[in-house]
Every structure is written in C-alpha cells, then in structure tokens.
Structure 1
C-alpha cells in the first residue's frame, strides 16, 4: 500500500513539474513575441484607419498561419502619443466579410483589440484583419517604436 501511495505521489509531483516547465516555456515564448515587432514608419492621416470596422489594419499572415503573431507584432510596435508604452488585449472578433484568403465557403472576421497606456482614461479599440495584407501605418493619435 505504501508503494502505491509513493508512486501516486511521485506521479503528481512529476506532472506538476512538467506543468511548471510548460508554463515557463510559454512565458519565454510570449516574451519573445512581444519583443518582435513591425517597424512602422508612415503615420496615417486617416482618422478611421484601424479605429473602424470599415477601415481595419490589414496585417495578413493567415495563409502562413502567423496571423495572430502578425497582429501582436503590429500592436507591439505602437507607442502612446508621447512615447508611452502601450499595452493591449484581444477583446473579441466581429464583422464577417468576404476574402479570398480563407477556405472556400468561409468568411473572414476582424479581431478587436483594446489598447491603453499609463495616463489614458479609457482604452482605444483597434480593428485588425489578419486575412488580407496592406501597407501598415501608425494610427492617428499614436506613435511607434524606433
């Protein structure tokens, strides 16, 4: 009986250790993603760019299976209006649309991100299209990393 209890305890400790190793690896990977960003140069003059579902930021990458990473690379390149460090989180998706960059019979959807930084009273809502690609610009009211 003691042998069984020892084996069960060993099993649970082993699982817990593997879980901690997995969490550490994911955190390290996530940090690498956050450090990887697009180099944005051009400032948009269009106040709707990225802020409306009819004019989303088109990062592409879906066909190469890097769509979500492309979204994070874009958002990680942004800074607040005075160079503040920007934070963001995905708030959902919306707005089905036709695109040739999905499997036949399916539609694309926009991802909605909330963007904020220290000192801002509310979050900004950014719409991103990971299916189609276009020139990337800095949305009005924001700056970018150099």
Structure 2
C-alpha cells in the first residue's frame, strides 16, 4: 500500500511539471488582429488586465509591450500618454474604469500611432494591425 501511494505521489508530481505558465503572451507567434480597429479605437481596446495587484494577469501589459514589434520585427518604443475614456463594468468594484493611451513608434514608421489599452479586463491579446507579437 505504501508503494502504491508513493508511486501515485510521484506520478502526480511529474504531471504538474508539464503545465505551462499563465498568461503567457510570448510564444504566440506573429499574431495580428484581423479587425483594423482593434486597439486603435476606445470601444475596441487591447484588454491586458493585470493592473490590479494580485490579479491572475498582473504584469501582462509589460510582457505584451516587450513582445510587440513592427511589421518587420522592428523594436517598438512605447510611451504612455495617460488615461482617458471611462467605461462601465458592473463586475468591477467601482462599476468601471478608465482606458490608457499609449503611443507606439518604430524606426521607418511614417508617424507614431496611438492605441487604447484596458488594464482591468483580460482577453488573449493580439497585435494591432501594422504590428506583430513575437
């Protein structure tokens, strides 16, 4: 009986080692949104979650911006422009939140672009058109 329990314990232990970490933004390949408005308009923000400490996706916005590149793999410079655009969400403690605006630029780009980011809600992120995720 002891050997059966010991064997079961090691089987469970080795099974846990094969799980992947979450949320895992990197490793998704060059995943660009098919919607041309994704990220570029307030009503279709990039939902990165992770703003609230202790949340499941804490820090995912940092991973996202580190993984974002220009269309040919150019490094992207990110500048936070501030908060804007209140939104309602009854599931949140205060009934909603604010979006953040970020300026994205890379070498060879004609002019920088602004994207809208929701740091309260999370959906598997994509790159706005004109960018890629590595």
Q: Same fold (TM over 0.5)?
A: yes
**Which protein has the larger Cα radius of gyration, Structure 1 or Structure 2?**
1
Q: Does 1:44 align with 2:33?
A: yes
**Whose helix fraction is larger, Structure 1's or Structure 2's?**
1
Match of 2:65 in 1: 75
The unaligned stretches of length 5 or more in structure 2 are: 1-23
Q: Aligned equivalents of 1:60 and 1:89: distance in 2?
A: 18
CA contact (8 A) 1:51 1:126 kept: yes
Shift of 1:101: 5.1
Count of matched residue pairs: 108
Deviation string, structure 1 residues 46-85 (Cα, Å, up to 9, x no partner): 0011111010000111344567832222111111011111
- SS of 2:59's partner is helix
State the partner residue of 1:88: 78
Describe the superposition over 1:93-125 as per-residue Cα deviations: whole angstroms up to 9, x where unpaired. 111011245323x53000100000111131111
Question: Which residue, out of 70, 73, 87, partners 1:97?
Answer: 87
- 1:54 corresponds to which residue? 43
> Which residue is equivalent to 2:113?
124
Which deviates more, 38-47 or 107-116? 38-47
1:139 and 2:128 are equivalent in the alignment: yes
Alpha carbons 1:68, 1:130 under 8 Å: kept: no
Task: Name structure 1 gaps, 5 residues minimum.
Answer: 1-36
Aligned to 2:18: none
* RMSD over equivalenced CA pairs, Å: 2.1
Q: Is the 8 A contact 2:45 2:116 kept in 1?
A: yes
